[in-house]
Amino acid sequence: MRTPVLAPYEELVSITGDQGLPLSRVEEMRRKYGVNTITPPPREPLWRQYLRKYDDPIIKILLFAVALSALVSIIRGEGLLDTIGIVIAVLLSTLIAFLNEYRSSKEFELLNAHRDDLAIKAVRDGHPVSVPSREIVVGDLVLLEAGDGIPADGWVVSTDDLTSDESAFTGETEPVAKGVQDRLLKGALVTAGKGRMIAGAVGDSAEMGVIAASLGIDHATLTPLEQKLEALARIISSFGYGMAVLIFCTLLVRGIILGEITGLTITTVDVILHDVMLAVVIVVAAVPEGLPMSVALSLSLAMRKMAKANCLVRRLIACETIGSATTICTDKTGTLTMNQMVVIEASINRPVHAGRFPETRAEWITLNAAVNGTAYLEERDDRVIVIGNSTEGALLRWLREHALDYLQIRRETDIIRQHLFDGRRKRMSTVISQDGRSWLLVKGAPEVLASLCTESPDLDEVHALASRAMRTLAFAHREIIDDDEAETGLIWDGYVGIRDHLRDKIAESVATCQRAGIRVRMVTGDNAETARAIAAEAGILQGGTVMTGEAFRSLPPDEQVGAADELDVMARAEPLDKLLLVSALQKTGAVVAVTGDGTNDAPALKHADVGLAMGIAGTEVAREASDIILLDDSFATITSAVWWGRSLYENIQRFVLFQLTLNFSACILIFTAPLLGLPEPFTIIQVLWINLIMDTLAAFALCSEAPHPELMNNQPISHDAPIVTPFMWLSIAVTGLFLIVGGLLQLATGFLGGSTPTEIGTVFFAAFIFVAVWNGINCRALDGKMPPFFRGNPTFFAVTIFIVAVQVLIVQYGGVFFETVPLSLELWVRTGVASASVLVVGALLRFGYQVHNVYLSPK
């Protein structure tokens, strides 16, 4: 394996300096050192992927039977066309399976490419900017702080207690402290402190790229839904194999009794081969090979639609589980609100900077707001964008509105060190040097700072602002004596009230979730008054409790479960509180979706049934721990994800209903007809065509059904809910019996038409396909509810028309292979109309089911 090489530190510093890479040199560095994207690991060759389709046991049995059939046909000098037809059908079946798998794989890779679009804070031409990760080049000066993912290999050029988690590379669990000129690795995570780095190697040249180049193919694990479907497939396959063995033995005994099997002759071999092929036909008809493919197709469609709705699905399981969510624990800032914090009220009239040592409270607050933070403002497309913390951004906007340049104030101030904000301390402090004296500037939660001041301030006005749904932030300072930087003995300076307005239609989205049986709970670091006001405005507060994180964590574990069940809002929450809440809710049987954006949210995101990270404000750690990334950070997007998750589950159920109905009826027909002395209902090639409809075309048609509004009026799907509902079992039994009885009558009497045995069999074959097509309409309705007939799924009707057209061509012109004869227009019309009677069966089933639910089911 080759060794990654970083561009020399001295050379990069000479190019970048303190002002960052000049914009004029960005393209030059990209051409010289490459782009910041990693080439995917080598994939298995396409020819090998295709050949793997022949590992399927059914395909192997068919190929073996084809070989025997070819041998007998050559010896007898006839029947070779049948063998060629079967080979073509096998080739077509394996090719379609391969193409569908290849398409799903490419779409998943395309979705994962969004990872390289995540925003990185950098400095170019002396200005802080936000650029996509893929656009970082060697020589870029990157700003790092706790929670950030490192976008490239590089060198540390400044550090303030910067530590990095490199466990993915070294296996060491402890974060590594980084000093100037120390090396940082792409893909590692900043766990504490802040600093700057110069990118020295990007993309494939970084260590992560070198490692990725040596990796093989990843093999995805089965999701719970796929496991359920495979279990169902095993049961059905066992039924098919049992039927195959039973009919083979029965026909073998019958052949001996009737004298068809008399010794080792070509006739005997031909009869036994025919019986084997018939057994194979039953296996082919029974085994639901299309189930895994329908899951892959449904997931592919759902992921693509969810991506368009600003949901980047990182783990396939999330597509299924989000539809089962019973509660959502959501952050406030940026998720419920617009993440555009604005200072609305303050304890001072206006910020003031006199260009000298602060003497008034207004001057201390101004200095604190300017230097005690890590955020920046960037002008982009005639808009001012906050790079970093949105609350700090609101303070910088406030200064800007009063014609104060925060960057100038920072340049004039000798900043010694900073202690960054965290959820436990709920404050941030910065040590500065002024006129030979050191000072500690502190900002944070008002009640926290008040408890650290020498004189306790009156917080009535602060509480009043909080009751108006404002986030309150207090400022304090003190002089540092004898190097004592403890955040105690502070002098209170004042406060501001910051408002972050709710996003559009948040109350409507919350109400939609509540109608769908999903309880929304808000978890926020704001105080109880602010949290209560925001929750009430958003419609989250619905008679439940408002509890602080401290009160919740102080409860015994068994009482936490009861408290969690009653809780609507958790205020002053720390990351550990969110994890405790998720665990307690899961103990009640809830399926929990949780949002998070910070490094400390990672445990809760991991532990939740579905973790939803913020794509804009979220740290790399949070995104890595999540199942879904909300690209717009909006709660309304979660509602959309739930909608698509439920639609995914329904679409798979539709396909299962369609396939099991045909499987059941085809197997019974193939088994029963010979025992009754009737002609065999299907040839091998006909069964393969039917199987092709069941496994591919029907999956594509039924899995394309669009979500309907009624989905969000239903209760969540339980984790242990069976794939096949009682209504589906009833529909399979009744519709299957209808097909069996009708099919046997046609084979015995030709009541639908046909004057010769071949014509009667052809009408039967055409009618069976037509019934399957009509029954596809029935399968669109689940549990007695039919979606809008012509809206929402044009693919269904396009595929249906295609199947009918191909069936007509097969019958009219494919008689050599399919053993059919052309039918007259009258017979086609009669077959089509008669087969449509299955729609009446479906309508009666739905009517009966609705009557049962309204009048007979227990209330």
Q: How confident is the model at residue 619 (pLDDT cuts 50, 70, 90)?
A: low
- Residue 720 CA to residue 723 CA, distance in Å, equals 9
Listing DSSP states for 8-75 in one string gives PHHHHHHHHTTT-B-GGGHHHHHHHH--S-PPPPPPPPHHHHHHGGGGSHHHHHHHHHHHHHHHHHHH
Residue 215: its pLDDT value, please? 44
C-alpha 103: how far from its chain's center? Answer: 17
Kindly state the DSSP code that residue 613 receives in the 8-state scheme. Answer: E
Residue 221: its pLDDT value, please? 42
Task: For the chain, list the domains and their CATH numbers.
Answer: 9-40+120-213 (2.70.150.10), 290-301+646-856 (1.20.1110.10), 312-337+502-633 (3.40.50.1000), 342-499 (3.40.1110.10)
Six token digits for residue 523: 């978890």
Q: Is the pLDDT of residue 195 over 80?
A: yes
Q: How confident is the model at residue 226 (pLDDT cuts 50, 70, 90)?
A: low
Six token digits for residue 844: 């009666």
Instruction: For residue 250, give every residue at least 6 positions away whose Cβ sits within 8 Å of its Cβ, in sequence order, or none.
Output: 675
Residue 160: its pLDDT value, please? 82
Average pLDDT over residues 724-736: 89
Runs of H (alpha helix) within 474-556: 506-515, 528-538, 549-553
Place of tokens 């309204």: 854
Kindly state the DSSP code that residue 502 receives in the 8-state scheme. Answer: B
Long-range pairs, 790-794, Cβ under 8 A, ≥24: 791/706, 792/705, 792/706, 792/708, 793/701, 793/704, 793/705, 793/706
Q: How confident is the model at residue 113 (pLDDT cuts 50, 70, 90)?
A: low
CB 523 within 8 A of CB 573: yes
Query: Distance from first CA to last CA of the chain, Å, rounded?
Result: 68
Instruction: For residue 77, give every residue at least 6 positions away whose Cβ sits within 8 Å of its Cβ, in sequence order, or none.
Output: none
Rg (C-alpha) for the chain, rounded Å, is: 34
CA distances from 405 to 265, 493, 698, 851 (A): 101, 21, 64, 72
Residues in the chain, total:
859
Beta bridge partners of 629: 312, 613
Q: Is the pLDDT of residue 87 over 60?
A: yes
Instruction: For residue 750, give every residue at least 6 positions away whose Cβ sits within 8 Å of its Cβ, in sequence order, or none.
Output: 759, 760, 763
Place of tokens 């839904």: 225
- Residue 508 CA to residue 150 CA, distance in Å, equals 38
Q: Is the pLDDT of residue 218 over 50?
A: no
Phi-psi region of 444 (alpha: psi -120 to 50; beta: other; left: phi over 0): left
577 is catalytic: no
Average pLDDT over residues 629-637: 83
- Residue 382 CA to residue 397 CA, distance in Å, equals 15
- Residue 462 CA to residue 494 CA, distance in Å, equals 10
CB 357 within 8 A of CB 307: no
Which segment, 240-244, 499-503, 767-771, is predicted with the most confidence on average? 767-771
Could you tell me which of 528, 535, 441 has the C-alpha nearest to residue 490?
441
Question: Strand 176-177 relative to strand 127-132: parallel, antiparallel, unpaired?
Answer: unpaired
Six token digits for residue 367: 């200095």
pTM over 0.75: no
Q: Is the pLDDT of residue 118 over 80?
A: no
Q: What is the pLDDT of residues 509-567, one digit of tens each?
A: 999 999 999 999 999 888 888 889 999 999 999 989 999 999 999 999 999 999 999 99
Q: Which of 82, 204, 275, 331 is catalytic?
A: 331
Place of tokens 């499987």: 663
Neighbours of 79 (CB within 10 A): 13
Q: How confident is the model at residue 458 (pLDDT cuts 50, 70, 90)?
A: very high
Q: How confident is the model at residue 217 (pLDDT cuts 50, 70, 90)?
A: very low
Residue % of the chain over a pLDDT of 90: 33
Q: What is the pLDDT of residues 313-352, one digit of tens each?
A: 777 667 778 888 899 999 887 788 877 789 999 999 999 9
Buried b / exposed e along 761-798 (16+ C-beta atoms within 10 A): bbbbbbbbbbbbbbbbbbbbbbbbeebeeeebbebbee
Beta bridge partners of 158: 196
Six token digits for residue 30: 């990209």
SS3 sequence, 630-667? Answer: ECCCCHHHHHHHHHHHHHHHHHHHHHHHHHHHHHHHHH
